[in-house]
Structure 1
Amino acid sequence: MELLALTVGPIEENCYFLIGRNNRNTIIFDPGADADQIKSVVAVNNLNPVAIVLTHAHFDHIGAVDEVREEYRIPLYQSSIEKDWLTDPMLNGSGGHPGMDPITVEKPADFYLDEMGPCQIGEFTFDLQHIPGHSPGSLVFIFKEKGFAIVGDVIFQGSVGRTDFPYGSHEQLMEGIKRYILPLPGDTTLFTGHGSPTTVQQEKDSNPFLF
């Protein structure tokens, strides 16, 4: 299994390409913007996209969904908690900002990731956990055997997700981090929605929000 990252959009969101063993089958996580760049990564690396998966539905994580979905004719997966966020700019955070065009996704998700624990999409198996707080439907994808997790905006290097947005909750966020992230092996790599990857141990040792 291989993981590529591409930083997209004005808020520098990390779009991830999780590549399997068979036929370069690839899940695209959080195509937030810059669809042409995403397509270029697919072409240059000879990838075969099979699904789009959202860690959550804030605007900076969904901006290129329509173009990528249409280009490769692949299904979209997300939490049903945020299903209305795809079409409502006020919910996804892109509405009401001067000089910013509202961002929406044309069609609803094809599948909803609502059952926590062991989960499978195609050849990809992982442990799915719901960690609300930054947004109510935030999901974390834990690949225990491979030693990494895709965590969206739940936790960052030296920080945690903002909770001052509508429907945010610092208490819920910290509870989820302590329950699902910190018990992972210390060398587990955390691939975050913004910024550089980190490890569980690094955050235990130095993240001021965890003390």
Structure 2
Amino acid sequence: MIIFKKEVDAVFDRDPAARSYLEVVLLYAGLQALVMHRIAHALYRMRVPFLPRLLSQVSRFFTGVEIHPAAQIGDGLFIDHGMGVVIGETSVVGKNVTLYQGVTLGGTGKEKGKRHPNIGDNVVIGTGAKVLGNITVGDNSYIGANAVVLKDVPPNATVVGVPGRITRQDGKKIDRLLDHIHVLDPLMQSLEDLEERVKDLEKKLK
């Protein structure tokens, strides 16, 4: 398991509930799914038939996480809780990415070829979010819980809502331990700005 040290370290770095090495290795489904994927992916690249998909389905049965063996995943991925996470065949996931439960990196139809997203480094994707199609999510970005992302996301951005709307956190890198409650919503910001303008106009009319 020492060869998966970066993934184990990611758990301790990003999950305050992690208590011991043994607990993380034996009880963290996200880590177990990732280890199984590394094996399945290696076999897939060796063009071994059938077995990679079998391993991915066995992993899905035991962990609730479905990762296609062809998906390319960088070091330091942390899948928190894991249940319901789906990573499609042509997905490319960068380094130090965090995925919360129920995240889907999926396609948008029956097209062939590259049809799943590219996720940059240090990206956080919140609970239940769907990132769909051959799009790119830039480095250091944050996808809010239950957002549906169908278009490219620039680096250092936050995306919220359905469909996903992009806002920026003052151009700063998003903290991987971001408080999910305090995420800027561009629509709400616009409404609040409009409300302030209406109040100013009412004052001037009086």
TM-score (norm 1): 0.28
More helix by share: 2
Superposition TM-score, scaled by structure 2 size: 0.28
Higher RCO (CA < 8 A, seq sep 6+): 1
**In proportion to residue count, which structure has more strand?**
1
